[in-house]
Structures are given as structure tokens and as C-alpha cells.
Amino acid sequence: MKYKIALVKGDGIGPEIVDAAVKVLDRVGDKFGHSFTYTDVLAGGCAIDAVGEPLPKESVELCLSSDAVILGAVGGPKWDTLPGHLRPEKALLGLRSAMGLYANIRPAVLHEALLSECPLKESIARDGIDMVIVRELTGGIYFGERGRGEGPMGPDAYDTERYSVAEISRIGRIAFGTAMKRRKKLVSVDKANVLESSRLWREIMHSLAAEYPEVEYSDMLVDNAAMQLIRKPSQFDVIVTSNMFGDILSDEASMLTGSIGLLPSASLGSGKLGMYEPIHGSAPDITGKNIANPIATVLSCAMMLRYSFGLEEEALCIENAVSMVLKAGHRTADILGESNAAPLTTTQMTEKIIENI
């Protein structure tokens, strides 16, 4: 099979980790008889520097004409003082919107080989961490009306949280479907004791729960969810939540696995076209040093093979290779822990993964 992949390498370590992932994909292609062709797409801070805007129209068109998109990272201190509509992050929001990607799938798994890297007590970590956070991606406060004005206490600013029945229903179905393929347990996280948008969210989730009687469903307030992720993360299978809550909770969950450099994500819509990216940022402090952990981007490619291309065996091949590398004790600097061994470079870790495919 032949697949066209758009590469949005972006800023900071983005180009390094995307290049690493491409090498792994090419090895998978050789093994299973697939052909991947790549197109570099300009977006983020590098696009601002080159053409004066974070997401050129041509970049959107290239992504829409591809079979899938791999994104490295966007942003950095260099562009922090720009107005909101010119920030690199605008490229990310713009691509999600243009591609109709309303569901962000973020698995968080603690590998047994990295048990010592979990910041929680060993007695808690040993119970296991294996969850998926399903985050609504194109609605809520990040896309609501915003502005600045004059309030009763002087100048103020506002951002609006707003959700429709349709938006909640479609992300809910993704979450219930995901739970059906796992341990059939779903927790919906909201703030229904305060927010009207959360009360609607809970109403719709309850109506969907009736359609999935096999799924053990429950509600949880977001502040409690943040606490429970630390107290007993093993209780979670699938979590579904709004854009902002999902943004925060998924990063919290990521650190329970030992490093944010390990976790992939998939942004999906109604079709097979998706965008796949590590959940970490551009890490400008280590850019160009060849020390970034490529695993999150490599695992994002595994999710691409599974969700966009339907290549389950190939996806498992990558995931198993990563597990074998970690089990063998190979580590990049972010997951080195107290070991006295020399950490692997980005290039070396990539080579180890390729050796195990």
C-alpha cells in the first residue's frame, strides 16, 4: 500500500523527532511492503519567520490532500510576545479546525521497565497505569468568544465556554466506542456543580450511557479527577472530558508514566484523516543537541498506522519494539533516573527501536 503523509515538523525539537519517526516508519514499510511518501509542511513559528503567518493557506491544503499528518511541535519563547492571532499555537488550532479533528486520543501507559520513574509511591504504581483520555478538541473555551473590555472594576478580559449537544454527542460516542474496545469502563469529567456547559455535558453523556449498557459509566468532577489520578490511577480505563479539562488532565496523567517524552496522541474526526503528535512541547532548551526522546513521536506513528490506515499488525510492531528497547534498559536522558549509564541520543534511541522491528 502507498500512503501520503504530511510532515509538520514545526519548531524546537520538532524536526529532530519527526525525522526520527520517519526512519522508523520507513523500516516498517520495508518489513511489511508499504510505501510512505512525505511532504514537508510549513506551520508554527518557523512559518511566521518565513512568511509572516503561523499557518499559510498552502499548508492547510497540503494537509487536507494527505492521508495523515505527523506534527512535531510548535512554539517557543522567540514568539511569546506576538499577538494571539500570530502566535505559533494558532497553527495547531487552525489545523484541527480545518481538518475537522474534534477528538484527541491520549493513551497513558506506565511500562513495567519504567516503574522506578513514576513519581508516585511504588505501592500505587505497581497497581498499574493504563488509561486513555479522550479530549474534545474543537469546542469549549479555546474556541469560544473572547475579548477585552471595560468591567465594573476597570479593564478586563473574557473567554467563553460553550458546547452544543452535537459536539458533546460526537465526542461521547468516540469515548464509549474506545471503552468498548478496552476494559469497558468510562469516567466522564466535568464541573457540573458550577458550570452550565458541564450540566449539559453530563445530560448528554447520561443519555449516551443508556446506549452502551456494557460500559460501566460514572461522572467525576474535575477537581476530584485531578486528585484521583494521583491517589489511585489504576481505577481509570477511559476518561472523556472537555477541551480545557482534557488539556490539563492529560498532561498530569503523562507524568505518571515517567516522562512526557513517552506519550503519543491522535487527533481524529469523522473520516480517516488524522493528525498525530507527541504531547510534549518544542523544548527549545535542548533543540539541536540530539538528546530529545523520540519515543512519543514514534508511538504517535503507531497510532497513525492503526487509526488512519487500519494497519494493526504494523502498529503493534512499533509498540512492541519500544517496549523491548525499554525492557533492555536503553534510556534517553529524560528517563535515565538514577542510573549511572550514559543516556542514549535521539539518533541512538531511534536506531535501537529500528533494530527491534
> What whole-number distance in Å separates Cα of residue 301 and Cα of residue 295?
10
pLDDT in tens, 310-354: 999 999 999 999 999 999 999 999 998 877 778 999 999 999 999
pLDDT in tens, 63-107: 999 999 999 999 999 998 888 788 998 999 899 989 999 999 999
> What whole-number distance in Å separates Cα of residue 266 and Cα of residue 300?
7
3-state secondary structure 49-105: HHHCCCCCHHHHHHHHCCCEEEEEECCCHHHCCCCHHHCCHHHHHHHHHHCCCCEEE
What is this structure's pTM? Answer: 0.88
Does 1-102+268-357 match 119-256 in CATH topology?
yes
Closest CA relative to residue 61, chosen from 27, 95, 34: 95
CA dihedral (276, 279, 285, 286) in degrees, to 10, reads -60
Q: How do the pLDDT tens digits run along the chain, 357 residues long?
A: 899 999 999 999 999 999 999 999 999 999 999 999 999 999 999 999 999 999 999 999 999 999 999 999 999 999 988 887 889 989 998 999 899 999 999 999 999 889 988 999 999 999 999 999 999 998 999 889 999 999 999 999 999 999 999 999 999 999 999 999 999 999 999 999 999 999 999 999 999 999 999 999 999 999 999 999 999 999 999 999 999 999 999 989 988 998 888 999 999 998 889 999 998 999 999 999 999 999 999 999 999 999 999 999 999 999 999 999 999 999 999 998 877 778 999 999 999 999 999
CATH number of 119-256: 3.40.718.10
Q: Where are the beta strands (DSSP E) in the chain?
A: 2-10, 35-40, 68-73, 103-109, 130-136, 146-151, 154-159, 185-190, 216-221, 238-241, 264-268, 275-278
Would you call 166 exposed, middle or buried from its count of C-beta atoms within 10 A (0-12, 13-18, 19+)?
exposed
Neighbouring CB atoms inside 10 A of 77's CB total 11
| CATH number 3.40.718.10 given to 1-102+268-357 | yes
Q: Helix, strand, coil shares of the chain as percentages rounded to 5?
A: 45, 20, 30
Closest CA relative to residue 263, chosen from 17, 38, 83: 17
**19 is annotated as an active-site residue:** no
pLDDT of residue 336: 87
- ∠ CA 59-61-67, nearest 5°, is 100
Q: Which residues contact 327 (CB under 8 A, 6 or more apart)?
A: 111, 112, 113
Q: What is the chain's alpha carbon radius of gyration, rounded to the nearest angstrom?
A: 20
Closest CA relative to residue 254, chosen from 221, 279, 219: 279
Would you call 22 exposed, middle or buried from its count of C-beta atoms within 10 A (0-12, 13-18, 19+)?
buried
**191 is annotated as an active-site residue:** yes
Which of 4, 184, 251, 352 is catalytic? The answer is 251
**159 is annotated as an active-site residue:** no
Which of 9, 191, 217, 334 is catalytic? The answer is 191
**4 is annotated as an active-site residue:** no
Helix (H, G, I), strand (E, B) or coil at 137: coil
Residues 332, 254, 338, 13: is their CA dihedral positive or negative? Answer: positive
pLDDT of residue 224: 98
> What whole-number distance in Å separates Cα of residue 63 and Cα of residue 102?
16
> What whole-number distance in Å separates Cα of residue 289 and Cα of residue 346?
9
Q: What residue ranges do the domains of the chain occupy?
A: 1-102+268-357, 119-256
User: First CA to last CA across the chain, in angstroms?
Assistant: 19
Which of 30, 156, 223, 285 is catalytic? The answer is 223
Closest CA relative to residue 102, chosen from 31, 173, 154, 203: 173
> What whole-number distance in Å separates Cα of residue 305 and Cα of residue 70?
11
Which of 102, 142, 163, 212 is catalytic? The answer is 142
Which of 67, 237, 247, 334 is catalytic? The answer is 247
C-alpha cell recorded at residue 95: 489545523
**251 is annotated as an active-site residue:** yes
C-alpha cell recorded at residue 93: 488550532
